[in-house]
Amino acid sequence: MVNAANTGSSAGAARRAMIALVVFLALAVLLFLFGPDDFYPWAKAIHVIAVISWMAGMLYLPRLFVYHVDAEKGSVQSETFKVMERRLLRGIINPAMIVTWVFGLWLAWKSFGFHGGWLHAKIALVLGLSAVHGYLAGAVRKFAEDRNEKPARHWRIVNEIPTLLMIAIVILVIVKPF
Ligand code: HEM
């Protein structure tokens, strides 16, 4: 009964996420086709807001894993961590990453025509950040199925990777050293 309810609610959540994604991608296409020049500072503001949300989630999620490792499998605490991890990933981290990419690419195209060493280096590092995102999303699934085998120390180390990438990315876009 509980399983049936869970399956129903996750199918509903997947459908809502898919509708949101399609609507957002349609808006992104309109932005690329008709985005006016004076929209630039607004797009940059939205980009930075999305970046902050993405980073907040990427720094918090591995921290949740550090505590989750110590919770006994099947305990109320462990089940609560699962809900927190799933909601953080689906409600904040995933949409924030999509908004960051869409507006970042638009800014890069509109103002720089995708030229600049700093921009290429930045995009390479953001691809790295997105790979870490994918790794963390896989870990959320493993924790949800009680299949995580990595110790707390592993998640403490993983926690540092987005921090280091973020520092390099922000220096590249603001200092533009090359
Ligand atoms: C997804 C790929 C991304 C692309 C293509 C991209 C591209 C850009 C571009 C072209 C700008 C405008 C720069 C200017 O007007 O001088 C910008 C602004 C900015 N981006 Fe990104 N970005 C991306 C992701 C990120 C990420 C992941 C972070 C942080 C972790 C970030 C942080 C910032 C910041 C702080 C600014 C404002 C810089 C300023 O106003 O001087 N971006 N981005």
Confidence of residue 135 (pLDDT cuts 50, 70, 90): very high
Of all residues in the chain, the percent with pLDDT exceeding 90 is 78
pLDDT for 79: 97
User: Is 4 a residue whose pLDDT tops 60?
Assistant: no
As a whole number of angstroms, the distance between CA 165 and CA 2 comes to: 41
**From ligand 1's centre to the CA of 128, what distance in Å?**
15
Confidence of residue 5 (pLDDT cuts 50, 70, 90): very low
**From ligand 1's centre to the CA of 141, what distance in Å?**
30
User: Is 2 a residue whose pLDDT tops 80?
Assistant: no
pLDDT for 10: 64
Q: Residue 86 in contact with residue 148, Cβ under 8 Å? A: no
- Whether 123 is in the pocket of ligand 1, judged by its Cβ within 6 Å, is yes
- Whether 170 is in the pocket of ligand 1, judged by its Cβ within 6 Å, is yes
**From ligand 1's centre to the CA of 23, what distance in Å?**
23
pLDDT for 116: 98
Q: What is the 3-state secondary structure (H, E, C) of the chain?
A: CHHHHHHHHHHHHHHHHHHHHHHHHHHHHHHHHHCCHHHHHHHHHHHHHHHHHHHHHHHHHHHHHHHHHHCCCCCHHHHHHHHHHHHHHHHHHHHHHHHHHHHHHHHHHHHHCCCCHHHHHHHHHHHHHHHHHHHHHHHHHHHHCCCCCCCHHHHHHHHHHHHHHHHHHHHHHHHCCC
- Whether 105 is in the pocket of ligand 1, judged by its Cβ within 6 Å, is yes
- Whether 111 is in the pocket of ligand 1, judged by its Cβ within 6 Å, is yes
Sequence ranges of the domains in the chain = 1-34, 37-175
**Tens-digit pLDDT profile for residues 62-78:** 999 999 999 999 999 99
**Nearest atom of ligand 1 to the alpha carbon of 107:** 10
Q: Residue 89 in contact with residue 149, Cβ under 8 Å? A: no
As a whole number of angstroms, the distance between CA 148 and CA 139 comes to: 7
pTM beyond 0.85: yes
